[in-house]
């Protein structure tokens, strides 16, 4: 191999490395299997945000029922006054805790409302990513009938 | 008919979007009578676009309820078109469009 082609290869490799470094989150934009199919809350956060250091915050409003009669349909609402980039929602003792990740582009309000399944009585957590930091709000929801099938 | 129902209403420059998608959202944990597992089948990604811009995206897990409901708000005006589309783990997609009221 002559010198020229070696340089060419080296150039391609460094370009590829630079591309991955510049867009570490692009992987997440597609479906991140590792974050979703993960039995641990901490691991899921690591896969999603690259960190699991969270701070509880009063600026996050988490609306969920105290008692959910039907675990198959538990309405939840997460909103915050912070400038949020992403909002995630976790159900601690589900087989896979991470339920939803919402991306909030500029101009969209930091609010998401949906319905989730809950296997049993457990803590639910809203995670808000704002300026590279993670903030959380949690609540205990009692479930009368579980909704994960089985 | 599309599997997506959308309601989008503008108020004070903010569009309130409510949407219902018809989908089984199989968790892969349920079993048939013979004990074999029903394979998982769920919506993985939802995207909302308006005026050529992506205004909201979400990634779902199997723990989102059957026939998912999703609500969010974005800055927009009356008459804007809003397009919502989903993709599931088998690669199936569907989309629907509506005008903001």
- ipTM for the whole complex: 0.81
pLDDT band at A27 (very low <50, low <70, confident <90, very high): very low
CATH classification at residue B68: 2.60.40.10
Asked if A99 and B60 come within 8 Å (Cβ–Cβ), the reply is yes
The rounded mean pLDDT for chain A is: 76
Touching check for A32 and chain B: CB below 8 Å?
yes
Asked if B63 and A102 come within 8 Å (Cβ–Cβ), the reply is no
Residue of A nearest to B69 (CA): A114
Residue B43: domain span: 4-99
Q: How far is CA B40 from CA A6, A62, B17, B46, B61, in A?
A: 47, 29, 28, 18, 11
Strand, helix or coil for residue A150: coil
Asked if A150 and B30 come within 8 Å (Cβ–Cβ), the reply is yes
Touching check for B69 and chain A: CB below 8 Å?
yes
Asked if B73 and A72 come within 8 Å (Cβ–Cβ), the reply is no
Mean pLDDT, range A121-136, rounded to an integer: 85
Do strands A98-103 and B53-60 pair parallel, antiparallel, or not at all (unpaired)?
A: antiparallel
Question: Do residues B86 and B93 touch, judged by C-beta distance below 8 A?
Answer: yes
Q: What is the pTM of this model?
A: 0.74
Helix ranges (DSSP H) in chain A: 3-22, 26-29, 33-36, 41-49
Touching check for B78 and chain A: CB below 8 Å?
no
Do strands B14-21 and B69-75 pair parallel, antiparallel, or not at all (unpaired)?
A: antiparallel
Touching check for A150 and chain B: CB below 8 Å?
yes
Per-residue model confidence (pLDDT) at position A58: 82
Tell me how far apart the alpha carbons of residues A132 and A49 are, in angstroms, rounded to a whole number.
8
Mean pLDDT, range B16-35, rounded to an integer: 82
Tell me how far apart the alpha carbons of residues A67 and A87 are, in angstroms, rounded to a whole number.
23
Per-residue model confidence (pLDDT) at position A17: 52
How many domains, chain B? 1
CB contacts, 8 Å: A101 with chain B: 58-59
Mean pLDDT, range A69-74, rounded to an integer: 83
Asked if B66 and A109 come within 8 Å (Cβ–Cβ), the reply is no
Touching check for A122 and chain B: CB below 8 Å?
no
pLDDT at B3 over 60: yes
% chain A with pLDDT above 70: 75
Question: B3 vs chain A: nearest CA distance in angstroms?
Answer: 17
Touching check for A116 and chain B: CB below 8 Å?
yes
Mean pLDDT, range A89-109, rounded to an integer: 84
pLDDT at B71 over 80: yes
pLDDT at A46 over 80: no
pLDDT at B1 over 60: no
Bridge partners of B70? A114, B19
Mean pLDDT, range B19-34, rounded to an integer: 81
Per-residue model confidence (pLDDT) at position A127: 87
Instruction: Name the architecture of domain A31-145.
Output: Sandwich (2.60)
Out of A115, A147, A148, name the one closest to residue B69 (CB): A115
pLDDT band at A147 (very low <50, low <70, confident <90, very high): low
pLDDT at A22 over 50: no
Per-residue model confidence (pLDDT) at position A9: 60
Question: B33 vs chain A: nearest CA distance in angstroms?
Answer: 11
Per-residue model confidence (pLDDT) at position A140: 84
Touching check for A114 and chain B: CB below 8 Å?
yes
Asked if A112 and B58 come within 8 Å (Cβ–Cβ), the reply is yes
């Amino acid at each position: 191999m002559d010198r020229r082609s070696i340089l060419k290869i080296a150039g391609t490799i460094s370009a590829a490395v630079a591309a991955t470094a510049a867009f570490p989150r692009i992987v997440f934009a597609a479906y991140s299997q590792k974050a979703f199919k993960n039995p641990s809350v901490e691991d899921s956060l690591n896969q999603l945000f690259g960190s699991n250091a969270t701070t509880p915050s009063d600026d996050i409003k988490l609306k969920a029922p105290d008692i959910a009669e039907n675990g198959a349909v538990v309405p939840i609402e997460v909103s915050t006054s912070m400038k949020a980039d992403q909002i995630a929602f976790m159900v601690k003792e589900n087989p896979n805790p991470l339920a939803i990740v919402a991306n909030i582009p500029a101009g969209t309000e930091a609010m998401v409302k949906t319905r989730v399944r809950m296997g049993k009585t457990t803590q639910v957590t809203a995670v808000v990513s704002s300026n590279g930091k993670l903030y959380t709000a949690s609540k205990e929801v009692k479930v009368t009938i579980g909704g994960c099938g089985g | 008919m599309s599997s997506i129902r959308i309601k989008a209403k503008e108020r004070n420059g903010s569009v309130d979007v409510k949407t219902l998608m018809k989908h089984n959202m199989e968790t892969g944990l349920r079993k048939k009578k013979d004990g074999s597992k029903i394979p998982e089948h769920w919506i993985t990604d939802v995207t909302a676009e308006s005026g050529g811009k992506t205004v909201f995206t979400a990634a779902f897990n199997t723990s989102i309820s059957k026939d998912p409901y999703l609500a969010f708000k974005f800055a927009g005006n009356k008459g804007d078109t809003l397009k919502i589309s989903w993709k599931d783990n088998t690669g199936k997609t569907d989309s629907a469009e509506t005008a903001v009221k």
